[in-house]
Amino acid sequence: MVGKVPVGGGAPISVQSMTVTKTADVDGTLAQIYALAGAGADIVRCTCNEEAAAEGLARIVPRSPVPIVADIHHQYRMALAALDAGVHCLRLNPGNIRKPEHIKAVASECKDRGVPIRIGVNGGSLDPKLYEKYGGQTPEALVESAQTELAYFAAVGFDDVKISVKASNVPLMIESYRLLADTVDYPLHLGVTEAGPPPAGLVKSTAGIGTLLAEGIGDTIRYSLTADPVEEVVAGRQLLEAMGLRERTGMDLIACPSCGRAEIDVIGVAKEAQEAFAKEELPIQVAVMGCVVNGPGEAREADIGIAAGRKRGHLFVKGQVVRVVPEEDMVEALLAEARALVEEGVEARLAAADSGAAAEAELDRQALLESQGDDANNSEERIQLIQKRVTQT
């Protein structure tokens, strides 16, 4: 338990982030913690690198809406000070605090207080002895670092632990966690350290974290981005929701990539819809489709969607057209219907459909088929050319 948040043991996978403010700046740090919590963070980490930071934590922890983890650097006394401040968890890097007596002192104090520790192994700050033993950063070196720390904890009877073995190299990170999962039976905190700014940082983090989650490895995650930490939380929540590991709390937008049949600027309308829905907390899947010929069918599994045709938008719920609106009103109508859908439910919105909407939509569909033909992208023509070329001798 990190405060009131369970980690591991079948609990929902939690999302973490870290403040980038000076912890001594109590009001500034609390403002960031509240922003992170509002974006969906379950746990927030704050640095505790000096006395002023520890004093700041004493004022922050009672006012925080989520559990606080103190990030400890080289001074074990800062870990003890953070415990005095009332933090809910410590993060210790074995590469930074190396004296066994210091590590045991902290673990013993945590045991007495019932405060867990994350063993935060980092490939970039590996103990030089392990670096030399294994010839660099290797999965074996990272896992042995964690095991050494566990042995110090065991010496004082402490085992309330979660572990991370982060690296900035994605394949190394994946293999390290796989080895760790096969070696120990503790909750694991996943992350690609120093992933960098988006979009590359998002790609690297998703590749590493997503791969492991798909294998059933991982209990809590953090995207380590060079960006506003709120972006880390948003990315983490979206990943878990996309993988079906957390219940959706916000809108999931799907949109077609556009094609020769598109009647609108799909990219522009999708962006407009995303911005409009960003202000809402509607846990539904929304589709924006470029044409009425294939759109409703392709997006029939979406909760709600809209497709363009003949300067009009076909608004549909679960694939059934419920209303036809002017093209310029598409996003506004989509948002209004989405709000009603969340409040009233699917059956009620289908029952409230305009009686002539389906017929109007079919007329638009047929008109487009007549003007564009069945093969708006000339796919069949290309196939015939391919067949002719392949059969030539």
Phi first, then psi, for residue 298 (nearest 5°) are: -65, -30
pLDDT per position as a tens digit, 289-323? 888 777 777 777 889 999 887 788 899 999 899 99
Q: How far apart are CA 178 and CA 215, in angstroms?
A: 9
Residue 72 has pLDDT above 90, yes or no: yes
What does the radius of gyration of the chain's CA atoms come to, in whole angstroms? 27
Q: Would the pLDDT of 392 be above 80?
A: no
- By percentage, how much of the chain surpasses pLDDT 70? 99
Q: What is the pLDDT of residue 43?
A: 98
Mean pLDDT is lowest, of 160-164, 183-187, 248-252, for 248-252
Contacts of 162 (CB under 8 A, 6+ apart): 7, 8, 116, 117, 118, 119, 186, 187, 188, 189, 219, 220
pLDDT in tens, 334-351: 999 999 999 999 999 999
Which domains occur in the chain, in start order? 14-242 (3.20.20.20), 252-372 (3.30.413.10)
Percent of the chain topping pLDDT 90:
68
Of residues 263 and 278, more confidence is placed in 278
Determine the average pLDDT of the residues in 147-175. Answer: 97
The three-state secondary structure class of 35 is: helix
Say what the pLDDT of residue 159 is: 96
Of the pLDDT bands very low, low, confident and very high (cuts 50, 70, 90), residue 78 is very high
pLDDT confidence bin for 85, thresholds 50/70/90: very high
CA 198 to chain CA centroid, Å, is: 13
Cα gap 143→73, rounded to integer Å = 20
* Sequence letter at residue 27: D
Contact 333, 315 (CB under 8 A): yes
